[in-house]
Structure 1
Amino acid sequence: MADPKGFLTTPREEWPRRPVGERVRDWNEVYVPGALLPIVGPQADRCMDCGVPFCHQACPLGNLIPEWNDLVAREDWRAAAERLHATNNFPEFTGRLCPAPCEAGCVLAINQPAVTIKNVECAIADRAWEEGFAPPAPPERLSGRTVAVIGSGPAGLAAAQQLTRAGHTVAVYERDDRIGGLMRYGIPEFKMEKRHLERRVEQMRAEGTKFRTSTTVGRDVDAAELRTRYDAVVLATGATAWRELAVPGRELAGIHQAMEYLPLANRVCEGDLESSPLSAAGRHVVIVGGGDTGADCLGTAVREGAASVTQLDIYARPGPERDEDAEPWPTYPKVYRLSAAHEEAGALRTAPAADADARLFAASTLRFSGDGEGRVGALHLVEVDSGRRAVPGTERVLPADLVLLALGFSGPDREDGLVARLGVALSPRGTLARDAGFATNVPGVFAAGDAARGQSLIVWAIAEGRAVAAAVDRYLTGAAGRLPAPITPDDRPMTV
């Protein structure tokens, strides 16, 4: 470590956000531009270079966190970028979008605020691009083998980049008109500006990866025929089958899935639309679901000028500190967190019915009622106990002329015919079944990411992409160990 007393003398300091009143008037990232680099060196110095660094275990990528913390503290940015990219293809994505389980596993977090690992990672990635430390890395020679990767989310892109760099000819098929999957149309611009995504895609093009957009395999291209054209196929389509809310009134107009709403707002930012057909402007919005997707809807609705926005979370409000008995270190604890969107909603008082940050905790939807013209007009809810049982006498009614369902995803979309045409077996959970080597029941077809693992974090998706690339390379070449495999299909986050 550069400063052996850094963790004792330097308090935790995070990348500051722009004032709420300023940032809700645009779609730029919420952080103060240029404010990270001046603080990140001392923050990296807080790393204790532990004998047993549990941040490694908490991160499925196995990021070499103490090593690049030390290099940042010493201002050796080139070496830090090399160590970071050794385990992570897209650190500027994870540095902005990952909830940082590595920080929950930081040894310093046993009795102090953790090292700002996520901020250090983001600073290294951004500095690497500014200084030219992330050039394209095309292979020295081609293997003559071909691979189709279906899906261009983080798992698909990571697999494609690893396989391209190993010398295989890779084509990525994406059903949307632009590359990126949920990172493109699901993640709002204020969380990650799409210029970061474009930059990586251009790097991959320069390395030799081919991209086929606006192509739905199973509909535009026959899936079985595609299998015969390539030596191997990687299914990385994501878990896009959204969960429904089966309550009375669901059929009313004005009730939409989050992933119907968010892509339209992103298309406005892309310049495709002048305004969203589902804009929250002037509407009373209720978001059902307390996760990150719900928070993304919240921040988007605030920027669109909603009359009010309330978010319902069926779970009770968590406490401010880790429950050492239920969720001991180094597991990822369920604690009260204030995202940028919740901070904005709280400051602007977007939800008069909520206590502070637009969220109503321990709240369950009973039914929707209409406005007399076939549109939703109100949401009826009830408080629930820890067993999700309704508490008598706690029914409430919220005005709602736009309801957004952010209840998560159950598995891959099967309506396009891809799974059926290939004959890929499904697990009991509805995800793509695979063996210990990421292979499906169809020879030469592999599965990775949320489509096989189930809904998860971006850092797990990238780890899946890297690991499936190693499995495909071994299948194509017969040689093991040419590419790193950070996880197995059975690995799971650290839990009690």
Structure 2
Amino acid sequence: MATPTQDTNTNLTWRRFEDGVDQWDELTDKIFVQDTSHKCPTYIHKTPPCQGSCPSGEDIRGYLAIVRQQEKPPADMDWREYAFRRSTDANPFPSMMGRVCPAPCQDGCNRNDVDDFVGINAVEQYIGDTALEQGYKFQAGADTGKKVAVIGGGPAGMAAAYQLRRMGHGVTLFERDPELGGMMRYGIPNYRIPRDKLAAEIQRILDMGVEARTGVSVGTDIPVADLERDYDAILWALGCQTGRGLPVPGWEGTPNCVSGVAFLKAFNEGRMKATGKKLVCIGGGDTSIDVISVARRLGSNEAAGKPEDVVHDRSMQHDQAIADAAVPSEATLTSLFTKDKMFAAEHEIHDALTEGCAILDGVMPLEVILGADGRATGLKVCDCTMDGMKPVPVEGTERVLEADIIVSAIGQGGDMTGLEELANERNLIDADKFYQVPGKKGHFVAGDIVRPHLLTTAIGQASIVSDSINEYLNNQEHKKRPKIDVHHFDLNKKLEETGLTPEPFVHDDRGDLRGTDGGDWAVHNYDDRSFAEVVGSDELFLGHFKYEARYLRSEDVPSSDQVLHHFTERMSALAEEQVVGEAKRCMSCGMCFECDNCVIYCPQDAVFRVNKSKSTTGRYVDTDYTRCIGCHICADVCPTGYIQMGLGE
């Protein structure tokens, strides 16, 4: 869990010893006893928990090391571009995701056990925005002659198109809506995702040679058989743009009961410029927060007619006069969970309250109250407690919330019209572990249509399915995916980049192979376990890190009196010096960050810096085993958990 906000406002310190532990060990005895272990330090690369928690699988530690300018870029590349290249190896939307990702990476950050997590999103936003300002482009791979049809131009489809073009495959995107972007465009308000930056990140992918056909629906406008004939593989990345209705009496068929997906789409398409006087939304996640925040910004206007009409009728559009004459509206969110357990991001909840939204937590819906005209007039609710995921009503707390529009934001589903043969019982598409559609050779699937989740989850699945498609197109057997399936730092690639590629290994030329320390054909004293192990905070020397407050992005959050028509971007970026400072807070878990502790504290001078001409990230220190006595002080004082005592076991 991330450090609670109230705890980060105090000067926290990490304690190596608990109360009552007041006797020093005899260090000299410890050193000489350990001499009998025959163990010496080995350098173990592990995955940091930020990366292990990132569904996109970004090399977060890697691009933070580049931003802090500890890992050096190639001689012909600026560090800002190098950070962009490392970041976008997994995620082609750093500007967008730096703004809206709920950041499970920050929840996983080991720095939470020192003071407060590293502001990974803030750094990613800077990387993405700088890339757009500098005009950095993506490069397509050498043409393979293979063609892939990608159905859906949302995060999963666009990210897969990007990865497939990097591999050299031709890609055609088929999108039902008039514009690409999926939920990034149609499901998230413009004050959270600036439309100019979204368009630029999409265009950067199209510029790789991706063909886009918008406004067409596969299965109705284009038969699936035509795609099977014309393309070597098909990727279904349809997304989930239908909302789940509320499972209470009175909901079904009531015109002013709408889904959160439909409500936000009407707003994001620019058609809805006013809503009801009293809106009630049922949810608790980020979508429900967006609904009530949008309602407060739009306001209401009786001249707009019934608030649900513009949601249901895709041809209806409010004019600017409707918006100009709007007055503030009431927006209420009900959540089964209390605020500290809601799925929405903490800062999103805080912002909504600042904007004058009402959030009733620990409340469950019971019934939609209908008027004589068949429209809803209110929502009957009661207090509840939670038994796991099941709400338990509290008797005697029933009341009615007045409403002229009720919005359900409790989940999403797929629209499989024309594709019924692919649909499972949940109206989604089944996938195997390689994201193939079972029983449909050449068909693959990724994103929300597998299981609705986060944008970052869809982007991560796009990487995996692209590998599967590439293997299929090359008639290769699918490789077993690693236990920790992310984009890892690769020391061999780094050595090649810096001109330090090991010499070819020829067995007959090597003679005695009982040691590698003098060989230029092996990476001595290094083991890559990042594909199987995540390094926890208990493996780090946390005492190395002093308290450092996180650099916080400022937010333009309007008050309840200012919120009407306030569509300015809410999240402000950090300045470059703040971004560098924030990256320096990273503890580089599982990878050496060149602090020199092991060199300084080794009593035998056995640990030494690698010669500068042969040094690079991951190869900063080495050990002279003729001097090492196995005391493991170097491992004790390693802040990052990179050193582990081994060999003699």
CA distance in 2 between counterparts of 1:241 and 1:56 reads 31
Amino acid aligned to 1:317: K
CA distance in 2 between counterparts of 1:376 and 1:129 reads 46
Counterpart in the other structure of 1:57: 52
Q: Does 1:409 align with 2:412?
A: yes
SS state at 1:339 partner: helix
Give the Å deviation of 1:241: 4.1
Correspondences of 1:185-224 after superposition (within 5 Å): 185-224=186-225
Give the Å deviation of 1:479: 4.9
Give the Å deviation of 1:69: 1.6
Counterpart in the other structure of 1:73: 68
SS state at 1:118 partner: helix
SS state at 1:148 partner: strand
Q: Does 1:447 align with 2:445?
A: yes
| Conserved 8 A contact 1:290-1:311 | yes
Superimposed CA distance per residue, residues 96-150 of structure 1 (whole angstroms, 9 cap, x where no aligned partner):
1211111111111124210101111111111122123x213133x3211111000
| Conserved 8 A contact 1:56-1:102 | yes
| Conserved 8 A contact 2:337-2:386 | yes
Counterpart in the other structure of 2:261: 259
Q: Does 1:105 align with 2:99?
A: no
Question: Which of 329, 351, 375 pairs up with 1:307?
Answer: 329
Amino acid aligned to 1:115: V
Give the Å deviation of 1:214: 0.6
Tell which structure's C-alpha radius of gyration is larger. 2
Give the Å deviation of 1:337: 4.7
Q: Does 1:467 align with 2:457?
A: no
Counterpart in the other structure of 1:346: 353
Counterpart in the other structure of 2:138: 136
CA distance in 1 between counterparts of 2:161 and 2:169 reads 9
Closer/same/farther in 2, CA of residues 348 and 137 from structure 1, 3 Å limit: closer
CA distance in 1 between counterparts of 2:11 and 2:133 reads 28
CA distance in 2 between counterparts of 1:58 and 1:172 reads 29
Counterpart in the other structure of 1:17: none
Correspondences of 1:242-253 after superposition (within 5 Å): 242-250=243-251, 251-253=253-255
Amino acid aligned to 1:225: D
SS state at 1:384 partner: strand
Counterpart in the other structure of 2:380: 380
Amino acid aligned to 2:471: R
Amino acid aligned to 1:447: V
SS state at 1:459 partner: helix
- The TM-score, its normalising length taken from structure 1, stands at 0.76
| Conserved 8 A contact 1:252-1:376 | yes
Q: Does 1:438 align with 2:438?
A: no
Closer/same/farther in 2, CA of residues 348 and 439 from structure 1, 3 Å limit: closer
Give the Å deviation of 1:173: 0.5
CA distance in 2 between counterparts of 1:11 and 1:123 reads 27
SS state at 2:449 partner: helix
SS state at 1:407 partner: coil
Superimposed CA distance per residue, residues 197-234 of structure 1 (whole angstroms, 9 cap, x where no aligned partner):
21122222221100010111111111122222111000
Amino acid aligned to 2:346: L
| Conserved 8 A contact 1:318-1:336 | no
Higher normalized contact order (CA 8 Å, seq sep 6+, divided by chain length):
2
| Conserved 8 A contact 2:336-2:386 | no
Closer/same/farther in 2, CA of residues 409 and 481 from structure 1, 3 Å limit: same
Counterpart in the other structure of 1:294: 288
Counterpart in the other structure of 1:280: 275
Structure 1 residue runs of 5 or longer lacking an equivalent are 1-7, 13-49, 320-333, 351-357
Amino acid aligned to 1:347: T
| Conserved 8 A contact 2:102-2:345 | no
Amino acid aligned to 1:96: R
| Conserved 8 A contact 2:242-2:262 | no
| Conserved 8 A contact 1:368-1:379 | yes
CA distance in 2 between counterparts of 1:313 and 1:200 reads 34
Amino acid aligned to 2:359: R
Give the Å deviation of 1:254: 1.4
Amino acid aligned to 1:162: Q
Amino acid aligned to 1:297: V
Amino acid aligned to 1:137: Q
Closer/same/farther in 2, CA of residues 235 and 346 from structure 1, 3 Å limit: same
Closer/same/farther in 2, CA of residues 136 and 481 from structure 1, 3 Å limit: farther
CA distance in 2 between counterparts of 1:198 and 1:336 reads 26
Amino acid aligned to 1:379: L
Counterpart in the other structure of 1:456: 453
Amino acid aligned to 1:374: G
Give the Å deviation of 1:85: 1.8
% identical equivalent positions:
32
Superimposed CA distance per residue, residues 383-426 of structure 1 (whole angstroms, 9 cap, x where no aligned partner):
1122312111001111100111101124x322x11242xxx363
Give the Å deviation of 1:82: 2.0
Question: Which of 302, 305, 316 pairs up with 2:338?
Answer: 316
| Conserved 8 A contact 1:176-1:215 | yes
Counterpart in the other structure of 1:236: 237
CA distance in 2 between counterparts of 1:266 and 1:337 reads 21
| Conserved 8 A contact 2:145-2:169 | yes
Amino acid aligned to 2:88: H
Amino acid aligned to 1:175: R
SS state at 2:365 partner: strand
- The TM-score, its normalising length taken from structure 2, stands at 0.59
| Conserved 8 A contact 1:302-1:345 | no
CA distance in 2 between counterparts of 1:188 and 1:11 reads 36
Deviates further, 74-83 or 362-371:
74-83
Alignment length (residue pairs): 406
Closer/same/farther in 2, CA of residues 478 and 222 from structure 1, 3 Å limit: same
